[in-house]
Amino acid sequence: MSLFCFYALLLLLLQPTMQDDFTNREKMVQQFAPTLFFDKNEQNFPNSMEWLVERSGLYQDGSTDAIIPSGNLTVQDLGKHTDTDFYLMLDGKNLEQSYRGQKPQHNQVHVPCYLNYQVVDPESAVLQFFFLYPFNNITPALYVLKQALLQGDLVLNIPDKVFDTKKFIEKKTKAKHEGDVEEVEVYLKKTKKGTVVIQQMYFSRHGDEGTYVHAKNLVFNGTHPLVFVAKGGHASYAEKVPLVNLLGDSADGKGAVWRCHEHTQFLDQQLWQNFKGKLGKSNRFPDFKGSPRAPEGRSWFDYANSSITKRSTAEIPFIERDITMFVKQKDLLALLNK
């Protein structure tokens, strides 16, 4: 065998198979994990579960006494309590400081991006990233809208048939909550040439809202898609949001940076993964609403296995102003003045 043929055969043997590409999840993370940019005025940063557990007690609905008090709780304990009626509650000491989360160091966020990694089939995979925060500090939309209208910052031009303004305002008069779980999804596919590329992403925000964005409309740093995190409420966007939109969000992308490929931790390796309870005390204060559940307790957990086809066909073409969901100014003013 000639030396050329030997090296050709060696290269062929070293080439990963289609399945090997996707099963090498560390490689997929290093190539395609997102990079998040915070608003320059962000005050409430993400946290690891270990950090949150160190400052919280474990409670159960219907009881005012802690099952495991603050200071004694561990992530191992958390993983053993799998029913949905459990919740964490931050210690009342230094509560305002705890709500700020783990502050960035030198403008870099150094906490885990938790990943639910799913190989759908030999042709595709989904990277579902979860981001945990101790506090969602978004300003209620009703207040935001009034201020924005007074300042002339909004251009409201989408017909009411696209958006139920009254229902939205009623829903968004209480917005802050203890504990916060955000997510983005990176959809990977194999090309005809055998390389792996991003097909699209899903940017979630505030529970039911969210947008699918095709790869051609994403912003990249190398192979890493960028995510712009809204101030206070931590909603995810594919582009900067320089003015406050109807969701109460703004995201200038000029703050701290969170490089998930440097901080990814896989959910199936976490001792707390099976915890399905809430990550905060619901309605702790009068202007607070319910706290969200841990990743495995969310209704949209494990989309890759449960409804990948439905989700993929629901892709929404990305339009520059699609994320703002504006409505007619005269109709909104009439509602606000009632």
DSSP string of 94-111, one letter each residue: THHHHTT-S--BTTB--S
Of the candidates 74, 54, 34, 332, which has an alpha carbon nearest to the alpha carbon of residue 188?
A: 34
Query: Based on C-alpha coordinates, what's the Rg of the chain?
Result: 22
Per-residue pLDDT, 141: 58
Q: Can you tell me the distance from the alpha carbon of 159 to that of 38, in angstroms, rounded to the nearest whole number? A: 31
Asked if residue 232 lies in contact with residue 38, where contact means CB atoms within 8 angstroms, the answer is: no
Per-residue pLDDT, 293: 92
Asked if residue 88 lies in contact with residue 179, where contact means CB atoms within 8 angstroms, the answer is: yes
Of the candidates 335, 337, 330, which has an alpha carbon nearest to the alpha carbon of residue 154?
A: 330
Per-residue pLDDT, 48: 98
Of the candidates 206, 174, 141, which has an alpha carbon nearest to the alpha carbon of residue 285?
A: 174
What Å distances lie between residue 93 and 98, 115, 217, 289, CA to CA? 9, 31, 45, 21
Domain-embedded: residue 270: yes
Six-digit token string for 81 = 């309590």
Per-residue pLDDT, 262: 98
Asked if residue 276 lies in contact with residue 292, where contact means CB atoms within 8 angstroms, the answer is: no
DSSP-derived secondary structure letter, 216 = G
Q: Can you tell me the distance from the alpha carbon of 150 to that of 145, in angstroms, rounded to the nearest whole number? A: 8
Q: Can you tell me the distance from the alpha carbon of 337 to that of 139, in angstroms, rounded to the nearest whole number? A: 19
Per-residue pLDDT, 22: 87
Domain-embedded: residue 53: yes
Domain-embedded: residue 126: yes
For the chain, the straight-line distance linking the first and the last C-alpha, in angstroms and rounded, comes to: 86
* Structural domains counted in the chain: 1
Domain-embedded: residue 6: no
Domain-embedded: residue 11: no
Q: Can you tell me the distance from the alpha carbon of 199 to that of 92, in angstroms, rounded to the nearest whole number? A: 45
Q: Can you tell me the distance from the alpha carbon of 245 to that of 144, in angstroms, rounded to the nearest whole number? A: 9
Domain-embedded: residue 7: no
Q: List the chain pLDDT tens, one digit each, 338 residues.
A: 565 555 444 444 334 433 447 889 999 999 999 999 999 999 999 999 999 999 999 999 998 999 999 999 999 999 999 999 999 999 988 899 999 999 999 999 999 999 999 998 889 999 999 999 999 988 665 555 555 555 554 444 433 334 455 555 555 556 788 999 999 999 999 999 889 999 999 998 876 667 889 999 999 999 999 999 999 999 999 999 877 666 667 899 999 999 999 999 999 999 999 999 999 998 888 777 789 999 988 766 655 444 433 343 333 333 333 333 333 444 545 544 54
What residues contact residue 159 under an 8 Å CB cut-off, 6+ apart?
327, 328
**Backbone phi and psi for residue 135, each to the nearest 5 degrees, phi listed first:** -155, 135
Asked if residue 187 lies in contact with residue 203, where contact means CB atoms within 8 angstroms, the answer is: no
Per-residue pLDDT, 270: 97
Six-digit token string for 78 = 């958390």
State which residues form the domain around 267.
Answer: 16-336
What Å distances lie between residue 180 and 52, 111, 278, 334, CA to CA? 11, 15, 9, 33
DSSP-derived secondary structure letter, 293 = B
Per-residue pLDDT, 210: 77
How far out from the chain centre does Cα 239 lie? Answer: 15
Of the candidates 49, 65, 59, which has an alpha carbon nearest to the alpha carbon of residue 83?
A: 59
Domain-embedded: residue 40: yes
Per-residue pLDDT, 7: 45
Asked if residue 58 lies in contact with residue 33, where contact means CB atoms within 8 angstroms, the answer is: no
- Give 196's strand partners: 190
Asked if residue 239 lies in contact with residue 219, where contact means CB atoms within 8 angstroms, the answer is: yes
Domain-embedded: residue 168: yes
